[in-house]
Structure 1
Amino acid sequence: MDKYNAEGYPDPTAAEALGNLEREEKAKSHRPCVFICSPFAGDIKINLENARKYLRFAVDKGAIPFAPHLLYPQVMDDHDPDERKLGLFFGMVWLRKCNELWVFGSHISSGMRTEIDKATKHRMTIRYFTENCKEVQKI
């Protein structure tokens, strides 16, 4: 932001006003990063379909979603304890980079519980949704 007027004199008032306008415009276009928290283990086929649905829901709501259980199982073996542990660690790193945690479904798996506990510890916004993407107070 240029802090000088056309004649080269300092103009902090105009610079501040223009800076405020820029910040307001950025805020209008801000999309929060959200971490999608839903079951993976169990009926993996259904759980992956649901995770894709939840990801799409977040996109439609104006968020930038991240669902590690859609990404890491493509390249890591969830049945290998070391790789599962590594994948969960990767997810925790990404969780801390997100603005909010969105929890989907009425069943809270152990992996989901770990994510919720981490988000709670770091005072992140946690939002709860049903399997049909209806927001609820808490599951």
Structure 2
Amino acid sequence: MYKNYEGFSDPTAGLAMSHVMKEYREERRRTWRRETEIKERPKVYMASKYAGDIEKNRRDAIRYCRAAIKNGYIPIASHLLYPQILDDKDSRERELGLLFGQALLACCDEVWFIGNKDKNEKIEMSDGMKAEYREAKRLHKMIRIMDGKELR
């Protein structure tokens, strides 16, 4: 039984408080469920070209990641992260970035290789993408090869 500040029973206030607390707990459960669903999305390693026209390739990679999010995935794009931290022109730092990327690839459920398909339905892969492809095969990851135009 709810009691007021003077210690007397107050069933009306008690009923109101129980309704407020019930609504609060229901809202917390909805929030927890939504957050859990987002955190449990499949993780996908995004492999696309970075070298060459870096600005265009970076924009494309961001677009691919946004499409993955829209389709219910958590994208991991190491080529958007490590070039900002490591010097891609330094061979040791480049190798470190590639190995960091492969470590992240190992944590993912799927690996997507994205680029422009040629007439033979193959995409052009950079050396880094080829290394990621070999690692994905070695780890028996689900691999998807997509034309970048497919991801919207």
TM-score range, shorter chain: 0.7 to 0.9
Structure 2: 5+ residue stretches without partners: 1-32, 116-122
The RMSD of aligned alpha carbons is 1.5
Residue of structure 2 equivalent to 1:127: 144
Query: Any conservation in 2 of the 1:104–1:133 contact (CA below 8 Å)?
Result: no
SS across alignment from 1:78:
coil
Question: Aligned AA for 1:97?
Answer: C
Deviations 1:21-72 (A, max 9, x none): xxxx9xx934100000000111111110100011101101100000001001
What residue in structure 1 maps to residue 55 of structure 2?
45
Letter in 1 for 2:125: I
Q: Percent identity?
A: 42
Give TM-score scaled by structure 2 length.
Answer: 0.68
Query: Could you tell me how far apart the structure 2 residues matched to 1:86 and 1:133 are?
Result: 31
For these two proteins, the number of residue pairs brought into alignment is 108
How many Å apart are 1:99 and its aligned residue?
A: 0.5
2:126 is matched with 109
Match of 2:41 in 1: 31
Q: How does 1:34-73 map to 2 (within 5 A)?
A: 34-73=44-83
Flag as ranges the 4+ runs of structure 1 deviating above 2 A: none
Q: How does 1:79-94 map to 2 (within 5 A)?
A: 79-94=89-104
Between Structure 1 and Structure 2, the one with more helix by share is 2
Residue by residue, what CA displacement relative to the aligned partner does 1:62-115 show, whole Å, maximum 9, x if unpaired? 000000010011111101111101100100100000010011012111110111
